[in-house]
Homo-oligomer: A and B are copies of this chain.
Amino acid sequence: MWHLKHNNYKTDRLLEEESLFTVANGYIGVRGCFEEGYGSENIASIRGSYINGLYDRVPLYYAESAYGFPQEADKQPRIIDTQTCKIYLDGEQANLSTHKFSDYSRCLDYKNGVYTRSYSYRTETGKEAIIQFRRLASLKFINIFIYEIAVKYDGQIRLVSVLDSGIENYTNEYDPRVGSTHAKLMELKGFKVEQNRVSCLMETVRSKLEQATVVDYKINSKHEYEINHVVQSNKLITQIDGNQTIVLDKLCVFTDGLRYEFAENSANDLADCVKNMYFDDFVKYQAEYLSKCWDHSDIRIVGCKKNQAEIRYMLYQLLQNTGTDKYSNVSAKGLSGEGYEGHYFWDTEIYILPLLQMVQPETARKLLEYRYNILPSAIIRARELGHDKGATYPWRTISGIESSGYFPAGTAQYHINADIAYAFIQHFLFNQDYNFLVEMGAEVIYQTARIWLEIGNYSNGQFMINSVTGPDEYTALVNNNYYTNSMAKYHLYWAEKIFKMLSQHNDINIRKAHKNLCARIDMKCDEVAKMLNASEAMFLPYDSDLKINPQDDSFLQKPVWPFEKSKYPLLLNYHPLTIYRYQVNKQPDTVLSHFLLEEYTNENVMRNSYDYYEKLSTHDSSLSACIHGIMAARICDINRAYSYFEQTVSLDLENTHGNTKDGLHMANIGGASLMVISGFGGFRINEKGISLRPQLPARWKGYEFKIQYRNREIKVSVSDKITVNLLSGEPLQITIWDKKHLLSDTLNQPLHTANDGL
């Protein structure tokens, strides 16, 4: 199954399907709205298109402000709407509100990277038209988004294509997960018409970033036709009149003022480069691109078509929504909606990058480059917070500024510093790329590590970190959050280790570059020694009665949340103070640390902790199920793991959280794929190398994935046995179920089952 296909037209699902059928390429994303409109005002629509990394700035208001609260935030603007193309057949407007259609279907094809929607439409005259829309966001030419509208009709055909600059962002004052103010983020600077090329220049209202769109109209028809352009207030309307058959290509080029000094000129230049290309030409490039991509990063599931289709959908959306340059990242909702205002969170580092590191190392590197690119903002923010040294990454941002307006569940999540460092360290573990490390990684790791020395302190010889919030946002401003402390311990350990590695590296260029870096940021041996000391002295909460790691110093002294009589999600039904007073988890906290830092975790404590916290979890966050699933697999509860997998893969496809309309849940999408590789496959990486603990869910006959590791490609196939193939690269040692093996070609191992006494 290489596609998502819907043959049913259901008006009550159209809004969420706009997210599901998003077409994007990491740069430009267009929601799956209808070109011709829904034909009814009763059908809600969020008719959005977005450019990754583009931001406006909006003021943040506080009922009571305090020193250091961010005064403005980034917000991803909805850009010009290029989707509209109305269809008139013998003067009659065609759309699906009239129920005179048949053979409706739409399909997102992952192999060719094309979206197709088509139906037959019967006009009042009784004649039937065949209408087909295609869309493609070019993965090779990322500024290109092309629409094709094809109409066959034995009569007069009129197409009315619109560039609508009168767009406003979606707002909802009742849902904190959606922006509540500042709908108008883009202003029209002007339209231009030159023959069949039309263009529009816009600008963000406050950040003053230009955004240019050039559209070349190309018509393929054996019959005569006429084309006219007219500007009506904030719309540029192109009308094509013909008959019998019209195939209209609407080739859009998008640029922005973030990446281009002269956005409009660049868009025109780019349009000129592809002016002779038609839709099918782009399909050819797209299929080529995707073929390579799937070759390395596909996950195969044998024995369950549904799960196979779901996981491919996840992988494809991840590809579509991931930024590929230093200006962009992966928004909480990708390019598929306006939830969380288009902000980038730690979701990338902890839910998406672990997967990309395995299967798409170059993309992983790009996402890390973005973090390096915004390091200066993180340094400025650290000064605002009163730190003499170091950098504090923003909890949510686009351009790099802290855009979180509620610090107890925002700025207080200092762990984001460790999460970002963790991703750089993982990149090093996967690639041993000392050049990248000395060029970018080390600087980020050092500057972020400094903050632990700033906010931590020794108490009775132990290093404590007070007044922070961990990943679980149902508990805030606590002391010695286990996740934060354990991640900080790891972070500080690596900071010192990297300092030593780079200072003593064989390659003199690496040593020199590191020396320069250290001079530039005033990093010296004694500071690094302090980091190692803090790491070694780090206090990690442990409860000897329950034999678990408590989430923080006081978590266990609180009563357990009264789950049975509650309304969910808690955040929409209870005051934070009420929630904070109980043992209750929105998402994994200690359990997540046990996943990320398994090598430092005692097996029994990990199991006990999992059992303890899973019972306290509401899974109100979409970041919850996948980690619980991975860890269920880790403790060999494969059925429980599979149940979480099902929750994860259905979250958007079945809209189980009720807010898929605001965009796809990207962290969950990353987590779903991770569930196969790190969950069922039990893949881990650490200083000692890579390891697997493969298991097979009862519902499957097998599964298969590939890993990129230090210039090698390794294929893992699991069925009634475990097969590991070294597809390319040098032989290596690999650990399977705690036993070391030399992998030089193919390794076969029996499949463990839960009965093996694991």
- A-side residues, CB < 8 A to B, are 60-70, 73, 176, 180, 384-386, 404-408, 410-412, 455, 457, 459, 464, 466-467, 476-477, 479, 553-554, 557-559, 571-578, 580-581
Contacts and interface: CB of A to CB of B under 8 A. Distances in A.
Contact of A63 (B405, B479, B554, B573): B405
| For the complex of A and B, 3 pairs with smallest distance between CB atoms | A63-B405, A68-B575, A64-B406
A559 B386 CA distance: 15
A70 B575 CA distance: 10
A385 B574 CA distance: 7
Given A386-B574, A407-B575, 10 more contacts: A63-B69, A63-B404, A63-B406, A65-B176, A66-B575, A66-B576, A68-B578, A386-B575, A411-B575, A477-B580
15 contacts: A62-B63, A63-B70, A63-B73, A65-B180, A67-B574, A67-B575, A68-B574, A68-B578, A69-B575, A384-B575, A385-B578, A386-B575, A457-B559, A477-B477, A479-B554
A64 B479 contact: no
Nearest to A479: B554
Nearest to A578: B386
B575 A64 contact: no
B467 A581 contact: yes
Mostly, the A contact residues are loop
Given A457-B559, A554-B479, A554-B553, A385 B62 contact: no
Contact of A571 (B66, B404, B477, B578): B66
Given A459-B557, A466-B554, A578-B386, A63 B61 contact: yes
A68 B571 CA distance: 10
A385 B176 contact: no
B581 A466 contact: yes
A411 B554 contact: no
Given A385-B578, A581-B455, A581-B467, A408 B477 contact: yes
Contacts of A467: 577, 580-581
Contact of A466 (B70, B457, B557): B557
A577 B61 contact: no
B385 A64 contact: no
A176 B67 CA distance: 9
B60 A412 contact: no
Given A61-B62, A63-B406, A404-B64, A385 B457 contact: no
A384 B578 CA distance: 10
